[in-house]
Amino acid sequence: MSEKYDKLPIDPLFKTIDELKPQFIERLSKAIAIPSVSSDEQLRPKVVEMSKFLVNELTQLGFQDIQVKELGTQPPPVQDANLQLPPIVLGRFGSDPKKKTVLVYGHYDVQPALKEDGWGTEPFTMHYDKTKEILYGRGSTDDKGPVMGWLNVVEAHNKLGWELPVNLVVCFEGMEESGSLGLDELVAKEAKQYFKNVDQVTISDNYWLGTTKPVLTYGLRGCNYYQIIVKGPGADLHSGIFGGIIAEPMTDLIKVMSTLVDGKGKILIPGVDEMVAPLTEKEDGLYDSIDFSVEELNAAAGSNTALHQNKKDILKHRWRYPSLSLHGIEGAFSGAGAKTVIPSKVVGKFSIRTVPDIESKKLDELVFKHINQELAKLNSPNEFKVELIHDGNYWVSDPFNESFQAAAKATQDVWGIVPDFTREGGSIPITLTFEKELGVDVLLLPMGRGDDGAHSINEKLDVNNYINGCKTLGGYLHYYAKA
């Protein structure tokens, strides 16, 4: 990719970031101390407090045109019918028409966390382990560390007396962990206003694949979620009285669900594989240098159950091929012990992770057609219905474009290594919203490591990743400005 490149003279910036390390750690500590849990209505005032903290930081750093966008009342289900959504904070640093404009997105809300969940320290009091050089606390890696990272980059430039090489626009939201309510509408509304001259969007809300090698992410799978409803008798029945003399919904459902995917992970619905974009030689080459192994997969899964035994096959099936997973059956007996019930109605849930070039609507048609054909084969008197619960499209960018190449150079400057170019199996829906509404490229530039435990207990961010992450974000802006 970018092995040979003209190195920019930005070492003074990196040196300044090193010098400001204590202040940067203190800034993150203050951010972690605010329990901005968006899913807990009782903590909504704390989410709002976090937005005010950001406004104060932006003001002190010299951002202009800081706007706090109120999003109105949160739609149900809510306990408090008047619950207000947390605001989106916008700010800009510089507005030189001769410079490129970069929009950075991040979120200031976090997942819930309690000490009794199994945390080694208080989740909302940052614990700095100086022997391991690790910062522990809820939000440290997801996403307060990266958000503070962008503020730190501006502070380092201010201290040096350097101008930012680009115009910087920030968009920080407080509902990402609860579905980003209101964000899509705001982006659409501001596309021709606040975000008018944006050339590029950078999101730092993902992680390295492993723990030792930096990555740049150029693709995400989408997700279509379905349910199959099978309804039979008017109430749950006793199998001793009715077993063998009525059509049982559970039997029908299991038969149909068994036709969706085989034990090797192959999707059995006709037409799905044919939609998948063919693998090019150029794309295949990106997998060669990626640092990953079947041992890492088994360690992450906590079992020796991998379906593929080599790195390239594992990663392709995680990132660039679709997968179908069976998630559960609603209405079925699932407790301990032996209960001889025949459920009257069962709902089977499954999802398909989508990839280029799967069209969501065409996929729905293929899924419905296959399931209805399989149900028809049963000649069952039970009632059937198949539904799409929600869908989110895949996203893929060009890893050879200006943004990715600029980020690759910055990564080499800081880490001394060419980053791995990765995709991810999960989804970040906002990526697509920015791309579609603003008509610009999006770059995913992660700060944290694959073992940070973003939604888990003892969430952490290595000090090395935090400080070098700031250098990478800053370096990226300089290389992108010159691209």
Q: Is 470 exposed, middle or buried (0-12, 13-18, 19+ CB in 10 A)?
A: buried
Q: Looking at the structure, do residues 70 and 167 belong to the same domain, yes or no?
A: yes
Q: Looking at the structure, do residues 96 and 113 belong to the same domain, yes or no?
A: yes
The least confident of 59-73, 309-323, 400-414, 417-431 is: 417-431
Cis peptide before 143 (omega within 30 of 0): yes
Check 109, 252, 441, 462 and give the catalytic one: 109
In a domain, 24, yes or no: yes
What confidence tens digit (pLDDT) does each residue in 120-146 have?
A: 999 999 999 999 999 999 999 999 999
Question: What does the H/E/C string look like for 184-225?
Answer: HHHHHHHCCCCCCCCCEEEECCCECCCCCCCEEEEEECEEEE
Taking residues 313-342, what's their average pLDDT?
Answer: 95
Give dist(CA 6, CA 401) in Å, integer.
Answer: 17
What was the pLDDT predicted at 3? 66
What was the pLDDT predicted at 300? 79
Taking residues 183-198, what's their average pLDDT?
Answer: 97
In a domain, 417, yes or no: yes
The least confident of 128-142, 218-232, 424-438 is: 424-438
Residue where one domain finishes, among candidates 392, 408, 433: 392
Q: Is the pLDDT of residue 288 over 60?
A: yes
Q: Looking at the structure, do residues 24 and 95 belong to the same domain, yes or no?
A: yes
Please enumerate, by residue number, every residue annotated as part of a binding site. Answer: 107, 142, 177, 205, 238, 340, 353, 427, 455
Query: Which residue range forms the structural domain that includes residue 147?
Result: 10-220+395-482
Mean pLDDT of the chain: 96
Nearest to 446 by CA among 203, 213, 275, 252: 203
φ, ψ of residue 196 to 5 degrees: the values are: -55, -50
Please enumerate, by residue number, every residue annotated as part of a binding site for Mn(2+). Answer: 107, 142, 177, 205, 455
Please enumerate, by residue number, every residue annotated as part of a binding site for substrate. Answer: 205, 238, 340, 353, 427, 455
What was the pLDDT predicted at 431? 94
Is 176 annotated as catalytic?
yes
Q: Is the pLDDT of residue 372 over 70?
A: yes
Q: Is the pLDDT of residue 480 over 80?
A: yes
In a domain, 312, yes or no: no
Q: Is the pLDDT of residue 2 over 60?
A: no
Helix 44-61 to helix 144-160 angle (10° resolution) is 20
Q: Is the pLDDT of residue 35 over 90?
A: yes
Q: Looking at the structure, do residues 345 and 458 belong to the same domain, yes or no?
A: no
Q: Looking at the structure, do residues 377 and 407 belong to the same domain, yes or no?
A: no
What was the pLDDT predicted at 4? 83
Q: Looking at the structure, do residues 199 and 230 belong to the same domain, yes or no?
A: no
Is 109 annotated as catalytic?
yes
Residue where one domain finishes, among candidates 362, 392, 422: 392
Give dist(CA 218, CA 287) in Å, integer.
Answer: 13
In a domain, 44, yes or no: yes
C-alpha pair distances (Å), 43 with each of 47, 48, 50, 174, 416: 7, 9, 11, 12, 42
pTM, full prediction: 0.88
What was the pLDDT predicted at 155? 98
Residue where one domain finishes, among candidates 392, 414, 440: 392
Domain count, the chain: 2
Q: Is the pLDDT of residue 284 over 60?
A: yes
In a domain, 311, yes or no: no
In a domain, 151, yes or no: yes
Taking residues 309-318, what's their average pLDDT?
Answer: 95
What was the pLDDT predicted at 299? 83
Q: What is the rounded radius of gyration, in angstroms, for the C-alpha atoms of the chain? A: 25
Pairing label, strands 200-203, 441-444: parallel
| DSSP result, 57-99 | HHHHHT-EEEEEE---BPPSS-SSTTPBPPPEEEEEE---TTS
Q: Is the pLDDT of residue 397 over 90?
A: yes
Q: Looking at the structure, do residues 238 and 127 belong to the same domain, yes or no?
A: no
What was the pLDDT predicted at 10? 98
Q: Looking at the structure, do residues 68 and 215 belong to the same domain, yes or no?
A: yes
Q: Looking at the structure, do residues 108 and 177 belong to the same domain, yes or no?
A: yes
Check 57, 155, 176, 424 and give the catalytic one: 176
The least confident of 43-57, 253-267, 396-410, 418-432 is: 418-432
Q: Looking at the structure, do residues 236 and 131 belong to the same domain, yes or no?
A: no
What was the pLDDT predicted at 45? 98
Q: Looking at the structure, do residues 172 and 261 belong to the same domain, yes or no?
A: no
In a domain, 315, yes or no: no
pLDDT band at 72 (very low <50, low <70, confident <90, very high): very high
